[in-house]
Amino acid sequence: MSEAHLSAGDLPRQHIHTHPVDAVELATDSPVIGGHVESVDVSSGADLFSESQAVIEEHFHDPDFDVSELARRLNVSVSHLHRVFSANGTTPRREIERYRLEVVERRLAEIRTFEKIVDEAGFTSVRHYNAAAARFLARRSARMG
């Protein structure tokens, strides 16, 4: 995984209490006109690729976010977007998937094994945990029954 690309999940979330239109402008850096988010106009290929990365980072978690939506938000055609990404050795779909895969990989790395959790709880082994859990459940059953 590339350390150069951080996702929204890498940053602490802050709750900002603003008017909904202001919140959309803050989240997208795009002006809201008539209740609709206006597209970003990016002209050069390098700028477009860079802006694409920012838009992908902001929206990759949305299952409906796709290449067409990315192009719409950037105010460019899908074919132009593909040309710019091709010049950078990738495709828009691959980049969206890369962001999604990085989140899954990061979350999987955070998952601890049952043995690790038992150890962190202070049990010397899973067997000792199982014995303690069985005793606890037996006592609870005896009180309820």
3-state secondary structure of 8: helix
User: Is-above-0.85 flag for pTM?
Assistant: no
pLDDT, position 39: 44
The more confidently predicted of residues 96 and 21 is 96
- Is the pLDDT at 110 greater than 70, yes or no? yes
Cα angle for residues 60, 62, 66 (degrees, 5° grid) = 65
Statement: residue 28 has pLDDT above 70: no
CB 73 within 8 A of CB 40: yes
Q: What is the pLDDT of residues 50-104, one digit of tens each?
A: 999 999 999 999 999 999 999 999 999 999 999 999 999 999 999 999 999 999 9
What pLDDT is attached to residue 128? 95
What pLDDT does 36 receive? 42
Q: Give the residue, 129 or 40, on which the prediction is more confident.
A: 129
**pLDDT the model gives residue 108:** 86
In the block, tokens 């951080």 appear at 6
* 92 CB-near residues (< 8 Å, 6+ apart): 52, 56, 67, 70, 71, 78, 81, 82, 85
**Residue-level pLDDT at 5:** 45
Question: Structure tokens of 77?
Answer: 């055609």
pLDDT range class, residue 122, cuts 50, 70, 90:
very high
Residue type, 23: A
